[in-house]
Amino acid sequence: MGPDSVGTLEIWRDGMQLVTEVYTLTAGWPGRELYGLTAQARRAAVSIPSNIAEGVGRGTAAEAARFAQIALGSVYELHTLLEVAARLRMGAHEELAAVKERLVVLARRISTFARYKRSRLIRAS
C-alpha cells in the first residue's frame, strides 16, 4: 500500500475534510487565541488523518490499530477544545455543534477500524 492508497480510506478522507472545517471555523476566533486554543484545535484536527496515514503506512494491522487509537485520542481532544470554545462563546453555536457531531460519527468509525485491525491480529495468531 503506497502513500496514495491511504486516500482510499474513508476515515482518512473524513479526517481531511474535518481539518478544512476546523481551519475555517477557527479563522473566526479571536486573534488573541491564535497561539492558544486556535493553534491547539488545528493541531488536534491535523493529527487525526495524520495518525491514520502513519499507522496504515507502517504496513501492519498492529500499527494501523495503534495509530487509529492515537487518532481517536485526537478526536476526543478536539471535541473538548470545541466544547471549551462553545462555553467561551467563540464562534457560532450551530457551526461548533455541527463539527462536534461529525467528530462523534468519526470517533465511532475510527473505533470500528481499530477493532477490525485488532481482530485481524487475533485471527492471524
Domains of the chain (ranges; CATH) run: 3-124 (1.20.1440.60)
Q: CA separation (Å) from 78 to 4, 30, 47, 56, 107?
A: 26, 18, 10, 22, 11
Spatial neighbors of 1 by CB under 8 A, at least 6 apart, are 56, 57, 59
pTM of the model: 0.91
pLDDT tens, position by position, 70-89: 999 999 999 999 999 999 99
How confident is residue 8, by pLDDT bands cut at 50, 70 and 90?
Answer: confident
Spatial contact of 42 and 99, defined as CB atoms under 8 Å apart: no
CA 66 from chain centre, in angstroms, equals 14
**Runs of H (alpha helix) within the chain:** 10-27, 37-57, 61-87, 93-124
Mean pLDDT for all residues in the chain: 92
